[in-house]
């Protein structure tokens, strides 16, 4: 199947609910945004909910993450928003670490993985204002490790799930040695073959 055939097949689907999850720095947002645009379907992005909440509280994402370790109402609120939205659309790209678990009846569940050192390099290069800023790459790498450990602990405690277990997904793509176009085209073809 070619990329163009895959896109056409996905556009013709009556129902298409895709979840995109994965490692920090794997390219989830880039992939989900491009896929939603190409298919002309909505992208529902839990990261945006989280960034808006941090901004509203005038704290960093790291600080909000720490707060979430002791206050499960935030995670539960964000996850319920995602679940509820998934019941309101026939087509959509749902992006978030736990989207695969909370989106109702997903058509396909994708996990993008990445080597932690590659992730650090990618995030370091992306100096956008949407990310917390770190003085050194090492500080960023440590923050990523701490965030992942926090998420694993929280999701296990709150829901009894491991958001990083590849067994939860239909498609797993290691993005470490692929450029954005390779990740995108390879994954779109895999999605179409799974639909």
Sequence spans of domains, the chain: 16-176
Q: Are the beta carbons of 91 and 42 closer than 8 angstroms?
A: yes
Nearest-angstrom CA–CA distance, 29 and 137: 21
Q: What is the pLDDT of residue 91?
A: 96
Q: What is the pLDDT of residue 61?
A: 77
Tell me the average confidence (pLDDT) per consecutive run of 10 residues in the chain, 195 residues long.
Answer: 95 96 90 96 86 85 78 83 90 94 95 91 68 71 86 89 95 92 93 93
Q: What is the pLDDT of residue 128?
A: 55
Q: What is the pLDDT of residue 131?
A: 47
Phi-psi region of 84 (alpha: psi -120 to 50; beta: other; left: phi over 0): alpha
Q: What is the pLDDT of residue 48?
A: 77
CATH superfamily of 16-176: P-loop containing nucleotide triphosphate hydrolases (3.40.50.300)
Nearest-angstrom CA–CA distance, 131 and 161: 26
Q: Which residues pair with 113 in a beta bridge?
A: 174
């Amino acid at each position: 199947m070619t990329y163009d055939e895959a896109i056409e097949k996905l556009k013709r689907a009556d129902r298409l609910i895709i979840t995109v999850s994965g490692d920090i720095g794997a390219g989830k947002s880039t992939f989900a945004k491009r896929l939603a645009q190409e298919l002309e379907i909505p992208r529902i992005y839990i990261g945006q909910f989280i960034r808006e909440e941090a901004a509203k509280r005038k704290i960093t994402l790291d600080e909000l993450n720490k707060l979430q370790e002791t206050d499960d109402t935030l995670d539960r609120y964000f996850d319920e928003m995602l679940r509820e939205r998934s019941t309101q659309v026939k087509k959509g790209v749902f992006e978030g670490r736990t989207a695969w678990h909370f989106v109702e009846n997903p058509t396909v569940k994708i996990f993008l993985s990445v080597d932690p050192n590659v992730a650090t390099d990618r995030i370091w290069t992306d100096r956008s204002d949407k990310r917390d800023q770190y003085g050194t790459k090492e500080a960023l790498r440590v923050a990523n490790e701490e965030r992942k450990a926090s998420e694993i602990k929280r999701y296990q405690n709150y829901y009894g799930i491991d958001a990083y277990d590849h067994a939860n997904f239909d498609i797993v793509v290691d993005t470490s040695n692929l450029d954005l176009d390779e990740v995108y085209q390879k994954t779109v073809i895999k999605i179409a073959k799974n639909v």
